[in-house]
Amino acid sequence: MKKTLSTIFLGFIISVSLFANENIYFQNANDAYNNGNYEQAIEVYDSLISTNTESANIYYNMGNAYYKLDNIPKAILYYEKARKIEPNNTDIIYNIELANTHIADKVEIIPEFFLKTIYINLRNSFSEKQWTTINIILFIIMLVFVITFFTINRKKQLWFSIAIVFLILTFVSGFIGYDSYKEKTTHNSAIVFTPTIDIKSAPDNKSSTIFILHQGTKIFLLEKSAKWQKIRIASGSEGWLKIDNFEEI
C-alpha cells in the first residue's frame, strides 16, 4: 500500500514538474517573440510541439512569428492548426483572413447548406472534452428517470417519455463529441508550399493542367496514390498534385 501511494505521489510530482517546465518554455518563447527574436521563438514553440505539447496558443503564436518573418504559408499552416483546436476563436479567424490577403489565389468559397452550417456551429460550440462531459451528464440523468420509472408507480408514462428523450440526447451528444474529436485529429486538409503548382486532371505528369495553385492556399485532401494526392479547393474544383507540394494541417 505504501509503495503504491509512493508511486502515485512520484507520478504526481513528475507531472507537476513537466507542466511547470512547459510553462517556462512557453513564457521564454513569448519573451523572445516580444523582443522581436521570432526565429528563436519558433524554435522554442517547436520544441514544445515535439514533446506532444499541443495547444491553440502555441500554434497561434507560431503563426504570428512566421507572419512577422513574412513566411505566409507557414503562418497560415499554424493558424489553421490553432483553429482545429479552437474553431470559434475570433483572433485566430481574423489572423487567417489577414494572412490570406497576402496569397495569390483568391478562391471563391461555395456556400454551405444551412443545416450543415447549423450543425458545424453546434459542434464547435464545445470542445470534444466538453461534449464528453455533456454526454456523461445526459446519460446519468437518463438513468435517473429509468430508475424512477421502475420504482415509482405513478406517472410511469411521463418518466418513460423523459427517459427516452434523454436517451436520444445522450446518443446525439455522443455522436457530436466523436465527430468533434475526429475533426480535430483527422488530417484531411493542407496548405500548399510550392510557389506555383499545376493541378493535373489525373495522377500523371503527362495529364492536362486544369488549374494552377500558389503557396499558402488551403486544400482539402481526398484519395491518394503512391506519389499523387487528389485535392479539392474551397470553390469545389478538384485535381491531382504531387504529395511533396503541401503540408498537412
Contact 193, 247 (CB under 8 A): yes
Which is it for strands 228-232 and 189-192: parallel, antiparallel or unpaired?
Answer: unpaired
Cβ-proximal residues to 201 (8 Å cutoff; 6+ apart), any chain:
207, 208, 209, 210, 239, 240
CA distances from 201 to 40, 106, 206, 211, 218 (A): 42, 21, 10, 9, 19
pLDDT tens, residue by residue, 199-219 = 999 999 999 999 999 999 999
| Residue 20 confidence (pLDDT) | 47
pLDDT tens, residue by residue, 76-110 = 999 999 999 999 999 999 999 999 999 999 888 88
Q: How many CA atoms lie within 13 A of 76 on its CB side?
A: 22
What pTM did the predictor assign?
A: 0.81
Grid cell of 212 as nine digits = 494552377
pLDDT tens, residue by residue, 151-194 = 988 889 999 999 999 999 999 999 999 999 998 889 999 999 99
User: What average pLDDT does the segment 226-247 reach?
Assistant: 95
